[in-house]
């Protein structure tokens, strides 16, 4: 049984600031096979890496002062204005600071563009690393996120310019993105992210009862099986949160010809358990990067 690919989630968010150049440099020196990032589109057409649709208040400063509330939506803000926010230091007393109490603050850490991250990743030693790009859109009328077609087109543009298309994988909760990609770049690797079971009750359903995330392939149409829905949607890989993994679901995925890539992995014990199940990829927060790691 081959070992799964180890992918540093959000540039190793368990060790370094998420989706950051500093995190990418750290990943370059870590024993990982690739890096995952979350991307958005600015008002002036740049692809940037950030988790939330707006500037996150719990680790953001403007003119030296921490934000009292979330900053502007990325899709409504130019790159130059977004670069004014320093994202490297947790806000004292915030949930982010409590989650990473030992993480030192970094001054002068600004939101990176996809080309900037690719330029940094290019300098990693050894075999070329994989890049997993999560397209961050919200199909609830796209009130906060960028237009999915425009964002995907900009990502494809930047990957092609850096000659990184063959070493990239596009992942998305919004399956309409993956349908669009299948017509534009069918050779590019993809994975269908699924909303964790624990969060499904919070999803605002469409009038017909379907989830808005699944692009018309709701599991209800396939005997309640998300995996059969992914297969019907043309998917190649199921990418669930670790909390949704069971041996039976992995076996079902394999029987349907789907690879399995798990996210939310944090410990060496979790890496060991999932490796033994035969999954193909693990998106790991760090600092554990293998089953033998000491976290």
DSSP H stretches of helix in the chain: 21-28, 79-82, 95-99, 114-121, 148-161, 175-184, 226-232, 247-255, 268-276
The two three-digit tokens of residue 242, written as one number: 């670790």
Beta bridge partners of 130: 34
Indicate whether 93 belongs to any domain.
no
Task: Give this prediction's pTM.
Answer: 0.97
Q: What is the pLDDT of residue 294?
A: 52
Average pLDDT, the chain: 96
- Owning domain of residue 226: 5-56+112-284
CA atoms within 13 Å, Cβ hemisphere of 236: 15
Q: Is residue 169 part of a domain?
A: yes
Compute the average pLDDT of residues 236-252: 98
- What pLDDT score was predicted for residue 137? 97
Residue 279, domain CATH:
3.20.20.190
Q: Is residue 240 domain-resident?
A: yes
Residue 38, strand partner residues: 134
C-alpha to C-alpha distance for 60 and 62, rounded to whole angstroms: 7
The answer to whether position 186 is within a domain reads yes
Residue 170 has φ and ψ, to the nearest 5°, of -95, 125
Q: At what angle do helices 21-28 and 114-121 cross, to 10 degrees?
A: 20
What digits encode the pLDDT tens for the residues 143-186?
999 999 999 999 999 999 999 999 999 999 999 999 999 999 99
Are the beta carbons of 241 and 251 closer than 8 angstroms?
Answer: no
Q: Is position 98 within any domain?
A: no
pLDDT band at residue 103 under the 50/70/90 scheme:
confident
In a domain, 100, yes or no: no
Q: How many domains does the chain have?
A: 1
**Strand residue runs (E) in 102-147:** 130-135
Q: Per the domain annotation, does 137 fall within a domain?
A: yes
Report the pLDDT value the prediction gives residue 295, as an integer from 0 to 100. Answer: 43
Q: Does the residue 264 lie in any domain?
A: yes
Tokens of 217: 């392939």
């Amino acid at each position: 049984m081959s070992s799964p690919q180890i992918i540093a989630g959000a540039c190793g968010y368990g060790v370094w600031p998420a989706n950051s150049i500093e995190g990418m440099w750290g990943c370059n020196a870590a024993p990982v096979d690739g890096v995952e990032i979350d991307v958005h589109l600015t008002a002036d057409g740049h692809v940037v890496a950030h988790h939330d649709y707006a500037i996150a208040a719990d680790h953001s400063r403007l003119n030296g002062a921490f934000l009292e509330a979330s900053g502007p939506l990325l899709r409504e803000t130019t790159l130059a204005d977004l670069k004014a926010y320093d994202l490297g230091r947790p806000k004292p007393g915030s949930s982010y600071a409590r989650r990473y109490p030992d993480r030192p603050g970094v001054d002068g850490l600004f939101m990176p563009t996809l080309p900037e991250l690719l330029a940094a990743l290019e300098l990693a030693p050894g075999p070329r690393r994989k890049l997993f790009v999560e397209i961050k859109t919200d199909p609830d009328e796209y009130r906060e996120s960028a237009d999915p077609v425009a964002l995907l087109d900009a990502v494809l543009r930047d990957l092609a310019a850096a000659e990184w298309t063959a070493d990239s994988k596009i992942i998305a909760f919004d399956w309409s993105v993956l349908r669009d990609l299948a017509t534009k770049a069918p050779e590019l690797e993809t994975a269908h992210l699924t909303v964790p079971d624990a969060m499904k009750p919070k999803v605002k359903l469409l009038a017909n009862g379907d989830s808005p995330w699944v692009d018309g392939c709701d599991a209800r149409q396939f005997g309640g099986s998300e995996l059969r829905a992914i297969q019907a949607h043309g998917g190649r890989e199921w990418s669930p949160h670790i909390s949704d993994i069971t041996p039976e679901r992995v076996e079902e995925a394999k029987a349907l010809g789907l690879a399995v890539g798990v996210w939310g992995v944090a410990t060496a014990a979790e890496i060991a358990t999932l490796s033994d199940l035969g999954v193909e990829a693990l998106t790991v927060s760090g600092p554990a990067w293998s089953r033998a790691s000491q976290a």
